[in-house]
Amino acid sequence: MPVLEGDTLLQRCEQIWQATCAQERREALQRAEPPLCRLFDGEGHWQGEVAVEYLGRFEWIDNDTGNGLLEIPFDHYTARWIWDENGRIARGEKRNVVVTVDKDGARWSGLLQDVSVEKRSDGTVVLIARFLHDIEMLKHYCVPPNPFLPINLIQFPRVFMLAGGARWCLLLTLFLQVMREQTSLWTLPDDPLNPSSWTSGLDMSNWSVVVAPHSFLSDLEDGILWAFVGSRFKNYFDLAKPIVEDAELSFQVRRYLDGDEPPWPGAPALRNGCLVVDLVDKSGYYTGTSNGGNLWDGLTRTVANFGADFIDTTQSLIADTDIGDYAVPGLKRTDKRAPYVFYPEGQETGIQTSKFTRIPSTAIQINAGGQSMPGVNEAIRATIQAVGDMTAMIPGVPPVGGVADALISPLFMDTVLAWHSVKSGARASNSGWIRKYEYFQEGADKAYTLSALMVIREGFYTTRSRFAHELSIADGSPWLVGDQGLGHFFIGDRIGTEIVGDWTGTMYVDRVTSLTLAWDRDNPADWMPVIGDNTALKDPAQRAMERLEGVLSSIQQLGVFG
């Protein structure tokens, strides 16, 4: 805001007041603007805009699939188009239906899951369309041992392996699967995720899915946690989820539409409706961020460090805090290094309803494995065969090493150094004398390997202490929910809350793990965030189904490896 020379203090205060009021009016208009809901066919062509819906409800879940729901009058043209599957196929529009919902810079997109027509008691006929968020697309890629060889003919080597920064490893793994789907064989650059290597002729203009580039060195510069990726036809999402949870990364999937800004600087021309996949660090847990504080001293900055056992983590206080570009007027965002959005309890705050859930950690020891560490089985078989072949030293007796190997080896295979067990000293000390002892983490990995260590870390993550906050907030009181510079925070960002009646004054800070945008004919669009690990708030049947999916995935891997 320019300040003219010679202005009095009163005039300057008036200018500031007028500018503040104008900004509040703009934000009020932004909040009142209804969501833009558009429909696209299976070829990415625009087919209409939904503007007469009875109800809309769309959910973002950090690193998981959110649900979308639309209720539309059945006599509206968009409802008839969604229902007319055979007509879409006959016209070349294909079976799949894509929806995008834009609000406050955020975009929800997904494919139609199911659709039904319902006649209600008041005589209205409603089409109910349910959608799944586009992160569901990542659940439909497998990771074969070699993505460059035909799956139905030959796969060598036996296991796909990659080590490096978690972001680079997971995005490169996904890129190879997308490349396998979208193109024929081609010469791979030294670092396929280095943007400079894409200028050599890689044409992605007609790809339906693209992966945002991050070089190997950029993970080192950004302090991304290292990871090991190993797969023999594992599902990509099942493979990636424990790694992104451990590294506190967030998948970002966004449909590119004509007129959008390029998804990254220097991005090639993309086809309308292309899905852009990225992994971002909005947490800052391992590079320095806020994990709490109190009402008297404010938010504190800490950085997580690994213990000597590579299992337990400790938090070290950071004294200096750089507020970065927070001082720029009109800029709305959350810097992961110093999050600042905080909702205190009180009559004049934005919290309308709240629910806080705390679950203490359980097992102090995690077991994993099932297969002997590399070299053990081979040594056992070699020893048995060598001892059996010693019978050749007896005149007239042939060597029986092969027979002994076939008969005896199965009794000793995967019995020596086949199980890996790690105890958390810090958790045992904090849990007390009365405590739960151990937990087996599925993974079917070889013991005493880097892969087994990652499985054990997953087990400690699964059984860790959890604290979840579920809030219903008034948007704009004072913080705005939104993305792309139109909101102070969005999915994956850290925000703080206070428990009503908490005499300690503790400020609880955690990541936004879920966001729901809901509206109907009588109520404007409203946001409802969930902060922290919301598994404590899930239905028990849903948690049981998720565990069953993990067990079935492990059985599938046992079948592949066996």
How far is residue 562's CA from residue 557's CA, in Å, rounded to a whole number? Answer: 8
Q: What is the DSSP string of 541-561?
A: HHHHHHHHHHHHHHHHHHHHH
* pLDDT score recorded for residue 561: 47
**Structure-derived torsion over alpha carbons of residues 336, 325, 214, 287, reported in degrees to the nearest 10:** -40
How far is residue 459's CA from residue 165's CA, in Å, rounded to a whole number? Answer: 21
Q: What are phi and psi of 262, to 5 degrees?
A: -55, 140
* pLDDT score recorded for residue 310: 60
Please answer whether residues 130 and 228 qualify as being in contact, where contact means their C-beta atoms are separated by less than 8 angstroms.
Answer: no
Q: What is the 3-state secondary structure (H, E, C) of 362-398?
A: CCCEEEEECECCCCHHHHHHHHHHHHHHHHHHCCCCC
Which structure tokens are listed for 534?
């919301």
Please answer whether residues 372 and 417 qualify as being in contact, where contact means their C-beta atoms are separated by less than 8 angstroms.
Answer: yes
Q: Of 49, 55, 133, 41, give the one whose Cα is nearest residue 92.
A: 41
- Parallel, antiparallel, or unpaired for β 466-473 and 526-532? antiparallel
Strand partners, 489: 481
3-state secondary structure of 82: helix
Please give the chain's pLDDT, 562 residues, in tens: 454 455 788 888 888 899 888 888 888 888 888 999 999 999 999 999 999 999 999 999 999 999 999 999 999 999 999 999 999 999 999 999 999 999 999 999 999 999 999 998 988 999 999 999 999 999 999 999 888 888 777 777 888 989 899 999 999 999 999 988 887 655 556 666 776 665 555 678 889 999 999 999 998 888 898 888 888 888 999 999 989 988 889 999 999 999 999 998 888 889 999 999 999 998 887 777 777 777 777 777 777 766 656 666 666 666 666 666 777 777 788 888 888 888 887 766 777 778 888 888 888 898 888 888 888 888 888 888 888 888 777 777 778 778 877 888 888 888 888 888 888 888 888 888 888 888 888 775 677 877 788 788 888 888 888 877 777 777 677 888 999 888 889 999 988 888 877 787 888 888 888 899 999 988 888 888 888 775 655 554 445 555 555 555 555 555 554 4
How far is residue 288's CA from residue 303's CA, in Å, rounded to a whole number? Answer: 4
* pLDDT score recorded for residue 62: 93
How far is residue 87's CA from residue 353's CA, in Å, rounded to a whole number? Answer: 46
Please answer whether residues 244 and 279 qualify as being in contact, where contact means their C-beta atoms are separated by less than 8 angstroms.
Answer: yes
3-state secondary structure of 417: coil
How far is residue 115's CA from residue 526's CA, in Å, rounded to a whole number? Answer: 24
Is the N-terminal amide bond of 478 cis, ω within 30° of 0?
yes
3-state secondary structure of 322: coil
Residue type, 90: A
Residue type, 33: E
* pLDDT tens digits for range 40-66: 999 999 999 999 999 999 999 999 999
Strand partners, 302: 289, 317
Q: Measuring CA to CA, how many Å separate 81 from each of 436, 521, 544?
A: 56, 22, 37
Please answer whether residues 533 and 490 qualify as being in contact, where contact means their C-beta atoms are separated by less than 8 angstroms.
Answer: no
Which residues have CB under 8 Å from 468's CB, separation 6+? 356, 357, 513, 530, 531, 532, 533, 534, 535, 536, 537
Crossing angle for the helix pair 376-389 and 401-412, to the nearest 10 degrees: 150
Q: Of 106, 142, 324, give the one whose Cα is nearest residue 237.
A: 142
* pLDDT score recorded for residue 86: 94
Q: Counting Cβ atoms within 10 Å, is residue 195 exposed (0-12), middle (13-18) or buried (19+)?
A: middle
Which residues have CB under 8 Å from 416's CB, separation 6+? 372, 376, 380
Specify the pTM: 0.82
Q: What is the 3-state secondary structure (H, E, C) of 493-511?
A: CEEEECCCCCCCCEEEEEE
* pLDDT score recorded for residue 420: 85
**For the chain, the helix, strand and coil percentages under 3-state DSSP, each to the nearest 5:** 30, 30, 40
Q: Give 35's DSSP letter.
A: P
Q: What are phi and psi of 354, to 5 degrees?
A: -150, 155
Taking every pair of Cα atoms in the chain, the longest distance, rounded to a whole number of angstroms, is 117
Q: Measuring CA to CA, how many Å separate 53 from each of 12, 76, 103, 138, 516?
A: 47, 9, 16, 29, 17
Helix (H) or strand (E) holding 525: none
- What is the number of other CB atoms lying within 10 angstroms of the CB of residue 502? 14
* pLDDT tens digits for range 396-426: 777 877 887 788 888 888 888 888 888 888 8
Rg (CA), the chain: 28
Which structure tokens are listed for 538?
């899930």
